[in-house]
Amino acid sequence: MEKGIGIAGIAGRMGTLLAEEVRAAGATLVGGIDRPDATVAGGGLFPDIAALAAAAAVVMDFTHASTVQAHARALAQAGTAWVLGTTGLSAEDQAAVAEAATRIAVVQAPNFSPGVNLVLALAERMAAALPAGQYDAEIVEMHHRQKVDAPSGTALGLGHAVARGRGVALEAVKESGRDGHCGARRTGGIGFAALRGGQVVGEHTLLFAAANEHISITHRAFDRRVFATGAVRAALWTHGRPPGLYSMMDVLGMAPPRG
């Protein structure tokens, strides 16, 4: 990779770790973007995403959903690959990501930890095996008090995996934020509950509850560095990759072959 790696959100919680992990991987950090007054340890601060995109072969992006459409345009324009970790995207944001992926390689993952991606694969298989009429799927997540979106991107990823396993669209069966007299649970619904507090890095439990048994699978991240090492692995993987919208499953070699 001749030009090296750039980081959008380089002064943030993830950005700081990403910078360390780029160096630990022996790769070149070209710098990043953040607030104009941000303090960045090593690597230059570029004036905007277009300047960063021009200087980097790939940009790792852990910022805020409000940046996604502008970043999609700038990276596609520059032909720079994009590792997108930002969560809380709207349907319009997601459409902009898909549009950019027709021109550049985009690895988008709500969670870059290898363990979570294994759980996502298991979730789909479990949902395919356990009849929706008998096994109620509930997803519970907990994160630190600063997190701004809910349910988490990973919880939604788990929901999509369960929905895929059941051959339905998540949007049609999602039950989130129950409060007050909200009625009985829908058969086949996929429920979400989000807890916020303290400095929890990320905990997700997928529960299948039937009348006579419960099956649950839990992932706990103790250090957000696990996301940073995964994202750097994804950034290096984009080298020479054709345009397309890829997932961490592709990076880990766990995705089914593309038809």
151: cis peptide before it, omega within 30°?
yes
Cβ 90 to ligand NAD shortest distance, Å? 13
Cβ 49 to ligand NAD shortest distance, Å? 7
Spatial contact of 157 and 123, defined as CB atoms under 8 Å apart:
no
**According to the binding rule CB under 6 A, does residue 241 interact with ligand NAD?**
no
67 or 77, CB closer to ligand NAD?
A: 67
13 or 241, CB closer to ligand NAD?
A: 13
- Check 3, 64, 71, 147 and give the catalytic one: 147
**According to the binding rule CB under 6 A, does residue 9 interact with ligand NAD?**
yes
Residues 10-49 that bind ligand NAD (CB under 6 A): 11-15, 33-35
239 classed as catalytic: no
Q: Which residues contact residue 202 at a Cβ distance below 8 angstroms, ignoring those fewer than 6 apart?
A: 111, 141, 142, 143, 152, 154, 219, 220, 221, 224
Spatial contact of 60 and 5, defined as CB atoms under 8 Å apart:
yes
Give the count of beta carbons closer than 10 Å to the beta carbon of residue 183.
8
Burial class (CB in 10 A: 0-12, 13-18, 19+), 121: middle
**According to the binding rule CB under 6 A, does residue 112 interact with ligand NAD?**
yes
Sites of contact with ligand NAD (CB under 6 A):
8-9, 11-15, 33-35, 62-64, 67, 85-88, 109-112, 224, 227
Q: Which residues are catalytic?
A: 143, 147
